[in-house]
Amino acid sequence: MNIKSVAKKAGVSVATVSRVLNHPDAVAPDTKEHILSVMESLDYKPNWMARGLKLNRTGAIALLIPEITDFGYMEIAKGVEDVAHQKSYNIMLCATEDDKNKEKGYIENFIDRRIDGMILVSTYLKKSDLVQIRKQDIPVVLIGKNEELAEENLVYTDYRAAAAEATRHMIEIGHKRIGVIYGIKPKLENEDKLEGFRKTMEEEGLPSPHEYFFAEENSLEGGYLAASKLLNLEERPQAIFVTSDIMAIGAMEKIKQSGLSIPEDMAVVGFDNLKLSGYLEPKLTTVTKPMYRMGLIAARLLFDLMEESQEDAEPQEILIQSKLKVRKSCGHKDRVKEIF
């Protein structure tokens, strides 16, 4: 079954059938309906590979994330998928595992496959690499900002400001000795959070001694382990700022096992706002990391670039705000975020 058979049965030219497939708006509604019904009766399915070659499109975009099992990156993928689905596009999803070479390999592969556009999350690429990709006429949108990559189409959130807001909130509650549990990865993002924390403590005239910082794997186990070490300190902190919810959940488990209550003996504030965090006891105060929204917007930006000639368009940098979500683990039993 091919396009010629459809044209013959419908009594129209091949060009008209082709227009129905590629530019349906350019076909009169009655004709379009007739041709579609013929296609259905013949069970005709276009050959997408051949169609892709003709249109110079593959109907797929690539999404490259650092880690495939991470909840946050999955939320980005969901955001990208929601938009791609609306546009009848598929996604090629790959993970770099924070490995620069793996990232390069994947990108070369995307270019070889003539992918229609790509979204790169927390990339290690340099400006010159992006210029190379653009020479292939493949639009790129980045999620996450690093110092090297200014003036690109990118979507990012300000981790420093968000960590500062969380820290300031803990200080306002009355916590003076605040420990930090942070993940070794993702490196750049966590460095920003630590900087936001340190700067705020300094501004408030509070110490943030070296022995109050604990780095572990960004996992439940990592959080548990870090909390075990922290609880052994001679002068225990009154509160802990944790750079991810998953580590915070691990840490909370250790704190509870040690017979301490949260937040009375030890307050905990996480980062990410995983869905799960609202179901814990006590409910985890955290910072929303708008991963899903970043995925949505990055995909929207990418389709804009793919659909329109953007040669002269200025690159768009879109900041998505992370916000403190006050729940119960930081020291409030009866208050809700709406009163702050």
Partner 1 sequence: MTLAIDFMGLKLNNPIIVAAGPWSRNGDMIRKAILAGAGAVVTETIVNEVNIDVRPRVAYRNNGVQNIRLYSDILLEEWEREIDSAKSNGGIVIASICAQTSSEISFIAGKMEKIGADAIELGLASPMGEGLEVMAASAERIYEMTRKVVSSVDIPVMVKLSQNVTNMSKVACAVERAGGSAISAIDTVRCILGVDIKSRKPCLPTYGGYSGNPIRPLGLASVATIAQSTKLPVCGIGGIETYEHVLEYMMLGASAIQIGTALMLNGFGHIQGIKNDLERWMEANDIQNLSELRGAALSGIKSFDEIQVEPKISHLKDACSSGDCHKCISACIYGALTKNAGEVFLSPELCRGCGLCSDICPEQNLELIWP
Q: Give the binding site for partner 1 (CB under 8 A).
A: 79, 82-83, 86-87, 290, 292-293, 296-297, 300-301, 316-321, 323, 336-340
Say which residues have a Cβ less than 8 Å from residue 218's Cβ, sequence separation at least 6.
Answer: 183, 184, 185, 186, 243, 244, 246, 247
Q: Provide the 3-class DSSP secondary structure of residue 270.
A: coil
Smallest distance from the beta carbon of 151 to partner 1, in angstroms?
13
Smallest distance from the beta carbon of 86 to partner 1, in angstroms?
4
Beta strand 286-287 with 324-325 is antiparallel
**In terms of CB distance, is 85 or 187 closer to partner 1?**
85
**In terms of CB distance, is 206 or 318 closer to partner 1?**
318
The set of long-range contacts for 140-149, using a CB threshold of 8 Å and a minimum separation of 24, is 140/302, 141/117, 141/298, 141/299, 141/301, 141/302, 141/305, 142/298, 143/76, 143/119, 143/294, 143/295, 143/298, 144/188, 144/189, 145/317, 146/188, 149/123, 149/125
**Cα separation of 85 and 242, whole Å?**
35
Closest CA to 270 of 211, 209, 231, 227: 227
Smallest distance from the beta carbon of 98 to partner 1, in angstroms?
27
**In terms of CB distance, is 262 or 294 closer to partner 1?**
294
**In terms of CB distance, is 158 or 217 closer to partner 1?**
158
Q: Provide the 3-class DSSP secondary structure of residue 216.
A: strand
**In terms of CB distance, is 89 or 106 closer to partner 1?**
89
**In terms of CB distance, is 57 or 87 closer to partner 1?**
87
Smallest distance from the beta carbon of 178 to partner 1, in angstroms?
22
- Phi-psi region for residue 122, left (φ > 0), alpha (ψ -120 to 50) or beta? left
Smallest distance from the beta carbon of 85 to partner 1, in angstroms?
9
**Cα separation of 329 and 177, whole Å?**
16
Joined tokens for residue 254: 């250790």
**In terms of CB distance, is 219 or 316 closer to partner 1?**
316
**In terms of CB distance, is 268 or 301 closer to partner 1?**
301
Smallest distance from the beta carbon of 167 to partner 1, in angstroms?
17
Joined tokens for residue 265: 């003996």
Joined tokens for residue 127: 């400006």
Smallest distance from the beta carbon of 103 to partner 1, in angstroms?
26
Joined tokens for residue 41: 């009766």
Smallest distance from the beta carbon of 291 to partner 1, in angstroms?
10
